[in-house]
């Protein structure tokens, strides 16, 4: 079964469906009631004309029927109109029948009493088709004309086309009025529903701003039904902030408690004069790097879902590039920012560590220059969180020898060093990958246009300049 996820569309759909059913039912009921009323009025007209004929006919001299009913309707004098009156003698009363001019030389058949019985007033109504093809309704009664018991059958017919035309005209007007009323009602209903659900849309946009790091709380004036929900979400955000702060404090305390013992181990290893001193120093340094890495991962995991993390890209990267220029003055470092107000939804320390590791790696292998480019990532890129609209990509490219495709996978493994002749622990790229993954971003390595290594970071951004 198809499920409609939009609340507004769902309410509109059900309201429209109910409105259509109600209007169709109203049209059917009103039309049926009008038909009943029109047919009742038609029967009353035939009954009035029938008794007009009854009052106008009597038994004359010579055992004949005499009378000239004046019904005041020209259709009774025009042939084939379907409007007739007919008086026929009954039983032993033998006389010539009387008929309207409109009936001409034709006659009206008499149905059996079983097919059309008389009612309590000794009247009966029945429909038939005359010889001209008119669909007519006949009102009939039988009356005793004199004290001798002579009786006659009186019948008056009317063309049902009049009733059908009247009902059709009324139905057309009714459907037109209901259509206009229905369309206007649906329009007002849609506007009312959309306007009524507008606060939910405002709450959704406020949540999107929180998710994107553009706001810290749900702000706005909400109706009484939605305000408790907004207050609860704001309370949850405040609780999350307190949890994050406690986690940061605990991680910081753990880091400080581990730094001293590891530093002591390193100092003692340097003082050891034995064949094993290098092994101890190497393993202690690796332990220090790995502890730092896992502490960073714990810290990032503690605050990853926080809405408070944000870092301005330009000042951080300018500072990193300045440091690299001082450390390696023989090489050129260039920073290109495609846009203004570029902001990432991550901690400044994590941004510095990821880009700093990439810059150190690029400076170590570059021949003469390193270029850093920051720009907006393409929309809808595969592998990224679909709920976040804005992403930035940071490209770090050098003109060194680069890496072969089979070496790229090895370079991202923890502790793997493809060039043992240069200093390093082999943890740089793996740390960058781990931090990027914690922020649900992406790290990719490929060969750049200048032949060297191109490292591409895709990180969550905050929309600052409307892009």
Give me 178's structure tokens: 């209901």
- Using the predicted structure, report yes or no on whether residue 415 has a pLDDT greater than 50: no
Taking a C-beta distance cutoff of 8 angstroms, is the pair 455, 412 a contact? Answer: no
Taking a C-beta distance cutoff of 8 angstroms, is the pair 150, 89 a contact? Answer: yes
pLDDT digits (tens, 9 = 90+) for 421-444: 444 444 567 788 888 888 888 888
What is the pLDDT averaged over residues 190-213?
77
Q: 325-362: buried (b, 16+ CB within 10 Å) or exposed (e) per residue?
A: eeebeebebebeeeeeebbbbbbeebbbbbbbbbbbbb
Q: What share of the chain is helix, strand, coil (3-state, %, to 5)?
A: 50, 20, 35
The number of beta carbons lying within 10 Å of the beta carbon of residue 128 is 15
Distance CA 24, CA 30 (A): 10
What are the two backbone dihedrals, phi and then psi, of residue 379, each rounded to the nearest 5 degrees? -70, 145
Taking a C-beta distance cutoff of 8 angstroms, is the pair 452, 402 a contact? Answer: yes
What are the CA-CA distances from residue 148 to residues 59, 90, 142, 145, 151 (Å)? 10, 13, 15, 8, 9
Distance CA 428, CA 413 (A): 10
pLDDT digits (tens, 9 = 90+) for 212-265: 666 777 777 777 777 787 788 888 888 877 887 777 677 666 766 676 677 777
- With residue 283 as reference, give the H or E element that holds it: helix 277-303
- With residue 87 as reference, give the H or E element that holds it: strand 84-90
Taking a C-beta distance cutoff of 8 angstroms, is the pair 349, 303 a contact? Answer: no
What is the pLDDT averaged over residues 339-361?
88
pLDDT digits (tens, 9 = 90+) for 308-341: 567 889 999 999 999 999 989 999 999 999 888 8
pLDDT digits (tens, 9 = 90+) for 105-152: 888 889 998 889 999 989 999 999 988 899 999 999 999 988 888 899
pLDDT digits (tens, 9 = 90+) for 59-116: 888 788 888 888 888 898 899 899 999 999 998 888 889 999 898 888 888 999 888 9
Taking a C-beta distance cutoff of 8 angstroms, is the pair 364, 422 a contact? Answer: yes
CA atoms within 13 A on the CB side of 331: 22
pLDDT digits (tens, 9 = 90+) for 366-395: 888 899 999 988 877 766 766 677 889 999
Q: What is the DSSP string of 393-429?
A: EEEEEESS----HHHHHHHTSTT--S-TTS---S-HH
**Beta-ladder partners of 60:** 64
Q: What is the DSSP letter of 377?
A: P
What are the two backbone dihedrals, phi and then psi, of residue 71, each rounded to the nearest 5 degrees? -90, -10
Residue pointed to by tokens 């320390």? 349
**Average pLDDT, whole number, for the chain?**
81
- With residue 98 as reference, give the H or E element that holds it: strand 98-99
pLDDT at 307: 47
pLDDT digits (tens, 9 = 90+) for 28-50: 999 999 999 999 999 999 999 99
Rounded to 5°, angle at Cα 418 from 413 and 423: 105
More confident residue, 277 or 218: 218
CA atoms within 13 A on the CB side of 25: 6
């Amino acid at each position: 079964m198809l499920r409609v996820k939009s609340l507004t569309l769902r309410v509109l759909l059900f309201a429209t469906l109910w409105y259509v059913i109600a209007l169709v039912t109203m049209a059917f009921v009103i039309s049926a009631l009008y038909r009943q009323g029109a047919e009742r009025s038609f029967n009353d007209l035939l009954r009035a004309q029938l008794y007009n004929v009854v009052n106008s006919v009597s038994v004359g001299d010579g055992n004949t029927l005499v009378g000239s009913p004046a019904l005041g309707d020209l259709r009774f004098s025009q042939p084939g109109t379907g409007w007739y009156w007919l008086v026929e003698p009954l039983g032993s009363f033998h006389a010539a029948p009387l008929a309207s001019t409109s009936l001409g030389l034709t006659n009206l058949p008499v149905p059996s009493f079983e097919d059309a019985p008389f009612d309590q007033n000794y009247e009966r109504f029945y429909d038939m088709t005359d010889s001209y093809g008119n669909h007519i309704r006949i009102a009939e009664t039988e009356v005793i004309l004199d004290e001798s018991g002579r009786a006659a059958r009186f019948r008056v017919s009317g063309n049902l086309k009049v009733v059908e035309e009247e009902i059709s005209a009324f139905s057309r007007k009714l459907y037109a009025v209901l259509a206009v009323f229905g369309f206007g009602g649906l329009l007002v209903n849609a506007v009312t529903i959309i306007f009524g659900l507008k606060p939910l849309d405002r709450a959704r946009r406020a949540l999107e701003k929180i998710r994107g790091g553009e706001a810290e709380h749900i702000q706005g004036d909400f109706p009484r039904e939605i305000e408790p929900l907004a207050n609860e979400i704001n309370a949850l955000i405040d609780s999350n902030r307190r949890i994050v702060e406690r986690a940061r404090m605990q991680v910081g305390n753990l880091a400080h408690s581990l730094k001293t013992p590891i530093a002591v181990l390193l100092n003692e290893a340097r003082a050891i004069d034995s064949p094993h001193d290098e092994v101890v120093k190497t393993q202690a340094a690796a332990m220090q790097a790995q502890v730092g890495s896992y502490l960073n991962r714990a810290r990032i995991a503690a605050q990853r879902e926080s809405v408070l993390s944000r870092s301005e890209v330009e000042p951080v990267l300018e500072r990193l590039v300045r440091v690299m220029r001082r450390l390696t003055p023989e090489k050129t470092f260039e920073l290109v920012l495609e846009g203004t107000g570029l902001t990432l939804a991550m901690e400044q320390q994590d941004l510095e560590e990821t880009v700093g590791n990439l810059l150190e790696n690029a400076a170590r292998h570059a021949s003469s220059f390193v270029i850093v480019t920051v720009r907006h990532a393409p929309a809808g890129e595969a592998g990224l969180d679909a709920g976040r609209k804005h992403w930035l990509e940071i490209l770090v490219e050098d003109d060194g020898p680069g890496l072969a495709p089979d070496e790229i996978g090895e370079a991202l493994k923890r502790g793997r060093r493809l060039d043992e002749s240069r200093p390093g622990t082999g943890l740089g790229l793996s740390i960058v990958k781990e931090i990027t993954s914690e922020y649900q971003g992406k790290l990719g390595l490929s060969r750049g246009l200048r032949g060297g290594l191109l490292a591409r970071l895709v990180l969550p951004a905050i929309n600052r300049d409307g892009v």
